[in-house]
């Protein structure tokens, strides 16, 4: 299919064979067949409609911080909302566009005296991605602060939904099935100085426990109920295990790091070896937290 198949209005925004690795924090993976950087709701709507009409699969890329793209890349359209990142604060309510950086949001909340989202300090990624996977950590998850989300639903309609109407789970939400455009978050009024200090403290804890300065996709596997995947991987003796340029971090067992020249194939093979060892030692099947593009089963890796 040629670029000319795309409607004229959106064509200038479409790039062909756009490398995706550099748009992910793991820095691996091949190109997107078509890549669109949306600057407005109109661009997003046009891209969704064009993908449907052309029968192309549509993928949304956020901050690329929880993403493993296959070496062969992905077919279809990859949509980025990186150009839509406005944040407006009204008292304890925050209107934020999907492309905003989550840490920019946290800092802005602190400096404007909005309490709550500090619990998300140190989590990388975009607000849209954080909502789609209900990002969180020890101190809470983004769903805790959602009043409503405006998204393009799986039927292709622009819709506003209140938190009660959205299914948020552990690192999951139904927003993944559509395109998040914007959210209204509800915090409470707090003291600016205290909030800034609180955000810094949570960030420091993460810096101490996680390989922050390395290329990684954050936690690789979900925590099995009541257990820590990182600890299980550590106890199974997997720290330092390597396949090609991919290595299990010596600092935190649930992080796979790219030591420089890793390929997606190395990362998948390493994940598979780790899952096998953990199963042998603990009898538990780890499930990936990192998104695999295109979707594939670890067992087939
Ligand atoms: N631990 C080990 N060895 C390790 C790693 C951890 O013994 O190699 C122990 C720790 O000492 C601690 C326990 O395991 O006693 C739990 O570890 P940690 O506090 O690091 O938390 P986690 O359960 O491994 C979760 C989230 C992280 C989030 C942290 C802190 C998941 C899968 N992971 O990790 O989220 O940053 O809590 O809030 O839910 C992510 O989602 O990408 C992510 C990194």
If you take atom 3 of ligand 1, which residue's CA is the nearest one? 231
Report how far residue 208's alpha carbon sits from residue 270's, in angstroms, rounded to the nearest whole number.
Answer: 24
Average pLDDT over residues 84-112: 98
If you take atom 10 of ligand 1, which residue's CA is the nearest one? 231
Average pLDDT over residues 27-53: 96
Which DSSP helix (H) or strand (E) runs through 185? strand 179-186
pLDDT in tens, 209-221: 999 999 999 999 9
Q: Residue 283 has what pLDDT?
A: 97
At 300, the pLDDT band (50, 70, 90 cuts) reads: very low
35 closest CA partner among 1, 11, 64: 11
Estimate to the nearest angstrom the gap between the alpha carbon of 56 and the chain centroid: 22
Does 219 sit in the ligand 1 pocket, CB within 6 Å? yes
Backbone angles phi, psi at 300, to 5 degrees: -90, 0
- State the distance from the centre of ligand 1 to the C-alpha of 254, rounded, in angstroms: 7
Judged against a pLDDT cut of 60, whether residue 297 lies above it is answered with no
CB contact set of 286 (below 8 Å; sequence gap of 6+): 221, 222, 224, 229, 232, 233, 274, 275, 278, 279
Q: Residue 5 has what pLDDT?
A: 87
- State the distance from the centre of ligand 1 to the C-alpha of 228, rounded, in angstroms: 6
Q: Residue 11 has what pLDDT?
A: 94
For β-strands 291-293 and 67-69, DSSP reports them as parallel
Q: Domains in the chain, please, with CATH?
A: 3-80 (3.30.43.10), 87-195 (3.30.465.10), 213-300 (3.90.78.10)
Q: What is the mean pLDDT of the chain?
A: 95
Q: Residue 277 has what pLDDT?
A: 98
Q: Residue 296 has what pLDDT?
A: 60
Record the pTM. Answer: 0.94
At 301, the pLDDT band (50, 70, 90 cuts) reads: very low
Q: Give the position, in ligand 1's atom list, of the atom nearest the Cα of 252.
A: 8
* Residue matched to tokens 């789609």: 132
Judged against a pLDDT cut of 60, whether residue 273 lies above it is answered with yes
At 298, the pLDDT band (50, 70, 90 cuts) reads: very low
């Amino acid at each position: 299919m040629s670029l000319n198949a795309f409607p004229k209005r959106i064509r200038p925004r479409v790039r062909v064979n756009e490398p995706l690795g550099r748009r992910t924090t793991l820095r691996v993976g091949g190109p997107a067949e078509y890549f669109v950087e949306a600057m407005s709701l109109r661009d997003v709507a046009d891209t969704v409609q064009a993908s449907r009409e052309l029968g192309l699969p549509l993928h949304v890329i956020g901050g690329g911080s929880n993403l493993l793209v296959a070496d062969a890349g992905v077919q279809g359209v990859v949509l980025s909302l990186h150009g839509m990142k406005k944040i407006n604060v009204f008292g304890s309510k925050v209107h934020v566009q999907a492309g905003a950086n989550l840490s920019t949001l946290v800092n802005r909340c602190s400096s404007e005296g909005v309490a709550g989202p500090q619990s998300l300090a140190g989590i990388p990624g975009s607000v849209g991605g954080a909502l789609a996977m209900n990002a969180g950590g020890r101190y809470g998850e983004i769903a805790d602060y959602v009043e409503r989300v405006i998204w393009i639903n799986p039927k292709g309609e622009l819709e506003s939904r209140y938190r009660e109407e959205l299914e948020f789970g552990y690192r999951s939400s139904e927003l993944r099935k559509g395109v998040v455009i914007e959210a209204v978050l509800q915090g409470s009024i707090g003291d600016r100085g205290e909030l800034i200090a609180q955000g810094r403290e949570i960030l420091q804890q993460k810096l101490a426990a996680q390989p922050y300065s390395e290329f990684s996709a954050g936690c690789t596997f979900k925590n099995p109920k009541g257990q820590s995947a990182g600890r299980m991987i550590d106890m199974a003796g997997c720290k330092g295990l390597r396949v090609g340029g991919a290595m299990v971090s010596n600092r935190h067992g649930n992080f796979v790091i790219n030591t420089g020249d890793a390929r997606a194939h190395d990362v998948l093979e390493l994940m598979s070896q780790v899952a096998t060892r953990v199963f042998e030692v603990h009898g538990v099947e780890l499930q990936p937290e990192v998104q695999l593009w295109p979707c594939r089963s670890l067992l087939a890796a």
